[in-house]
Structure 1
Amino acid sequence: MNDALPEPEPAAPAAPADAHEPAAPAPLGVGRELTGHLGVDAHLERLAEVDHLPADGHLEVYEDVHRGLRAELTSLDAHPAPRPYDNRS
């Protein structure tokens, strides 16, 4: 009977050091069209910032743009304050 242990299998070659590094930021190539509303267009233009950020930085920009667009939409529902000469009795 042979009590010798089997030879261990050779270890897999080590992966290069950069194999698990995140990819560099790259533009998504999504076009943005002007809406004609300056406030909305300014917020939408901010979306271009994510083209130069790593993925973990996108959320902050998206949330900020979302807040800004909601504020613009809410402002459309606001009634303008009455002017003094509009309240004639």
Structure 2
Amino acid sequence: MSVPESVDAAAPEAAHEPAGASPLGVERELTGHPGVDVHLARLAEVDHLPADGHLEVYEDVHRGLRAELTSLDAHPAPRPYENRS
């Protein structure tokens, strides 16, 4: 069996060119918590980024959501009229 001599060496590389950014079409629903909704809205940015730019956005959103959850566990400072020492 012989291999044709006219094999284009650039053709396999062209087949592996990264695709351009395209929206994933994922619907985002509001949660009713403004702090959470702001972070989730940032996920729309990845629709306009190549795949190698997604990680930075995902990590930032994750940090923001963790901060929101942590703030729920924080005890609010007592109000002046609640301080009964």
**TM range, normalised to the smaller chain?**
0.7 to 0.9
Q: TM-score when scaled to structure 2?
A: 0.85
**Would you tell me which structure has more helix in proportion to its own residues?**
2
1:12 maps to 7
Q: How many residues align structurally?
A: 83
CA displacement, residues 16-63 of structure 1 (integer Å, 9 cap, x when unaligned):
874332111000011100000000000000000000000000000000
Root-mean-square deviation over aligned CA pairs:
2.1
Aligned to 1:28: 24
Task: Give me the identity figure in percent.
Answer: 80
Give the structure with higher Rg (CA).
1
Give the one of 40, 43, 46 matched to 1:44.
40
Unaligned runs of 5+ in 2: none
